[in-house]
Amino acid sequence: MNNKSEDPNLWNDAAEAQKLMRERQQLDDGINGVKAMEQQLNDNIELIELGEEEGDEGIVKEAEDALKALKAESGRRQVEAMLSGEADSNDTYVEVHSGAGGTESQDWANMLLRMYTRWAERQRFKVELLEVHDGEEAGIKSATILVKGHNAYGWLKTESGVHRLVRISPYDSNARRHTSFSSIWVYPVIDDSINIEINESDCRIDTYRSSGAGGQHVNTTDSAVRITHIPSGIVVQCQQERSQHKNRAKAWDMLRARLYEAELKKREEAANAEAASKSDIGWGHQIRSYVLQPYQLVKDLRTGVSSTAPDDVLDGELNEFMEAALAHRISGKPDIDAADVD
């Protein structure tokens, strides 16, 4: 790849050149990352030996903490190395939909939108808000973000499903405990190498006024676009751009990506029938519970991984859950009994 990148004719095809340079950078980052980890491992082992010789417990403790952090980084890289699916390296769309329950579930959907945005920012991914439908009193009815970064889809793909929140409602004057549900749908951005044919006669296109912030022009013209693919029932919408033409183009991209994700799901189910339930998305298939009262616990209903720091999880600390879910999915093991988790 280094030799190819020095070819003076490389940039005659800009798209191919960018693809090559991107792949080269990813390989370079991976190799340098492993070398850096090896160096840190050796350096900290030497520090421990030195600290033990000199009786300096502070040095030993510092080096041991560094090795624990290194072990966590190693686990993350090990899981990431298994992200070899057809679209794992791609950017991804993340949709958030509130469930039944009005303001409660709409507020919960907004909390989930913030959680995934914060997670993406922690990974140094770029996040674009493509559309959002605000709730009547608080929160959101739905939203779609685009997460850009290497392996964005691979990391996020196991987050699709229903998420449950249990808390004392801030909207209940009697301070009663409420249970709210919202769903997450993750599907990859597809590039030009993947051809998805769509018959436009199978689609219904609606335009409407954008909601939320965006300026006078956005809120007073029918610039937002919704496309419904009638055979599959898939609906996508975009209101990010001021131009209806640009929103329409992005909505078509999103629809192609949704149809592609549906095809990937079919292939996975055909290849591993007993694990098909892992990809099901519906109000009866919860993947994670977030309990804020009467105790504090976030627990994954597939892997059993838990955290007693829900505030940290809701602030984007999701890697432990994602790593376990990815390893669980790759292993093909059945989900644990949700009743045992609760």
pLDDT tens, position by position, 252-284: 989 988 888 888 777 666 654 433 333 333 445
Question: Domain boundaries in the chain?
Answer: 2-81, 92-186+281-341, 200-269
200-269: same fold as 92-186+281-341? Answer: no
pLDDT tens, position by position, 82-112: 787 778 888 999 999 998 778 899 999 999 9
CATH topology of domain 200-269: Double Stranded RNA Binding Domain (3.30.160)
Domain 92-186+281-341 indexed as CATH 2.60.120.380: no
3-state secondary structure the chain: CHHHHCCCCHHHCHHHHHHHHHHHHHHHHHHHHHHHHHHHHHHHHHHHHHHHHHCCHHHHHHHHHHHHHHHHHHHHHHHHHCCCCCCCCCCEEEEEEECCCCHHHHHHHHHHHHHHHHHHHHCCCEEEEEEEEECCCCCEEEEEEEEECCCHHHHHHHHCEEEEEEEECCCCCCCCEEEEEEEEEEEECCCCCCCCCCCHHHEEEEEECCCCCCCHHHHHCCCEEEEEECCCCEEEEECCCCCHHHHHHHHHHHHHHHHHHHHHHHHHHHHCHHHHHHHCCCCCCEEEEEECCCCCEEEECCCCCEECCHHHHHCCCCHHHHHHHHHHHHHCCCCCCHHHHC
pLDDT tens, position by position, 111-141: 999 999 999 999 999 999 999 999 888 899 9
